[in-house]
Structure 1
């Protein structure tokens, strides 16, 4: 009964929001419903569209929606965003926020398949390249990680040292015991990355106006890249931020290494070869990527679940990710930029 009531409520919300677009939809379906975040797919005059309800603030949505409009208007492969009858791109209804998008016909890229992965990397390069030039409108909460890596690295290092003190109070705990066995090597890795960043051209290449920077997706991968007849489309731009392309590339390369349980210089070079077909990186940008790969982001992400989110993590998983982090220096040292 609860499910039926929820479905009826969602359909009522959907209809009332679309009234603000003067749209009478056909073939309505709810394709995602996770708390406040909801997606409705429908047809309007033979054109497929998607209405999205957000859990973010209006200021945050204003930044990402206008970033998407900027990319689309420059010819980038992202879904179009449609205004309501008042010419607004964000629609408010009962204190909730909605945006209407073009629905892209195609299939999700599967990043575990070689051809899909390679196509996806080329699509990411095109996305980064065409995203430059975005000036956020008034009222937007600007998201930028540009020039903040040193601050981020030091903050993460301090948190891991604080967690070490916590772990020392309960050495019997299996996860804490493994953490204590590897944390000194991890902190040493932090120090190497921080020193390398301070000695690099990072400050020079990030001391620019924000609109000169690329926009990073921050969650690019399977589910956010669609192969259509017109090429690779990037979707779900909710988390876009100003930053170096390395931010997205580091996450992709690291995720591959984590799944394989090893770092591979040939794989890194292969990824960059495909990426640079659509967006050429400078020597300084590659240097920044190498440093960002050096920092133990993956170990931090695993451990954070214990200390910040109060989740249990298998000690074996901690040991495995620590081993992966410690082994990467030898591989990164083979990378001749």
Structure 2
């Protein structure tokens, strides 16, 4: 894991778990000076450990040996192909993790730096070039045990179809409710627009270019990080981009990471921007060039209303039940505004693909 300079003394640890962690650390050839809890999300936790070899980062990870084996193999493979990501320290017996009382722990080196900023053109270019390098470097990876913790490549159309059907089902259900609240009314006023976008996206995925790309990727493999965003990136003191948190790696088209970072950047900016999108894709294209047909697949994934669906599902599936309804409403308004701003930008971008593709050739 990479650590940004956010230490403030850490958080006090439960005495019992502190004892467990000391047992974990004792399996490494280290002399420990202090341990500070940085974050605890139940299944996941992170500690800063000051040792005779400097500061290290311990993570408790919420998966088993086969998943960890793949993650460790992927880290080695990516590092060997030029991706900057922190190395994993081995125990005294040469293991890449420790299992204790049913919990799994992995120890990482620390890299210091700052979070990249989407508003900074140089940082944004660094992120997209780093993502492109990540995708290119991952090609050819094979699982050491034949097991892939996540393989989303072949689930695209079925997953999007399921999400579209859920939107239609929620529409029918909320139309029958007598006492609709503001969230319901906002959802119903916009859902038909986004169902239309969803159908258009799925139609594009029926094109031969999508089928061919999936077939090629099944043979060559490409990993997506799934959260290649500022929170998991650091611009190191050497000026290089470092990526961490390899917990959610999946075999998939690079489009998944591209669509996610585009949505994050545009959402933070409040609306879609053609100059920003062109800038981002030209940076990516310099390192891992895509074809025009492949950009059409990206366009289809962008067209699908992921942001709208995500916020609606949080509310109707009670995935953020601690939020007051006003927060859900405010977030839904933001998502709708961002989603509605993308169509003209996407159309203009696809009309300028020659400019983008030429840049990377």
Query: In structure 2, do the counterparts of structure 1 residues 265 and 133 end up closer, same or farther at CA, with 3 Å as the change threshold?
Result: same
Structure-to-structure mapping, 1:206-225, within 5 angstroms: 206-208=214-216, 210=218, 212-225=220-233
Query: 2:112 — aligned with what?
Result: 105
**Residue 158 (structure 2) pairs with residue 151 (structure 1):** yes
- Helix, strand or coil at the partner of 2:230: coil
- The structural deviation recorded for 1:27 is 4.3
CA–CA distance in 1 between the matches of 2:146 and 2:25?
Answer: 24
Query: 1:73 — aligned with what?
Result: 80
Query: In structure 2, do the counterparts of structure 1 residues 227 and 211 end up closer, same or farther at CA, with 3 Å as the change threshold?
Result: farther
- Cα deviation digits, residues 271-316 of structure 1 (max 9, x gap): 0112223222222322211111111111101101111126435445
Contact 1:132 1:212 in 2 (8 A): yes
- The structural deviation recorded for 1:317 is 4.1
CA–CA distance in 2 between the matches of 1:277 and 1:209?
Answer: 20
Query: 2:7 — aligned with what?
Result: none
Structure-to-structure mapping, 1:1-337, within 5 angstroms: 6-138=13-145, 140-171=147-178, 172-208=180-216, 210=218, 212-228=220-236, 229=238, 231-309=240-318, 311=321, 312=325, 314-315=328-329, 317-335=331-349, 336=351, 337=353
CA–CA distance in 2 between the matches of 1:163 and 1:152?
Answer: 17
- Helix, strand or coil at the partner of 1:40: strand
Contact 2:271 2:337 in 1 (8 A): no
Higher mean alpha-carbon deviation, 204-213 vs 241-250, is at 204-213
- The structural deviation recorded for 1:173 is 2.1
- The structural deviation recorded for 1:8 is 3.0
- Cα deviation digits, residues 105-130 of structure 1 (max 9, x gap): 22222334333222222222211111
Return 5+ residue gaps in structure 2 as ranges: 1-10, 354-361
Contact 2:89 2:107 in 1 (8 A): yes
Contact 2:217 2:253 in 1 (8 A): no
CA–CA distance in 1 between the matches of 2:203 and 2:83?
Answer: 37
- Helix, strand or coil at the partner of 2:167: helix
Superposition CA RMSD, Å:
2.2
- Cα deviation digits, residues 150-196 of structure 1 (max 9, x gap): 11110100111111122112152221122111111111111111111
CA–CA distance in 2 between the matches of 1:212 and 1:18?
Answer: 38
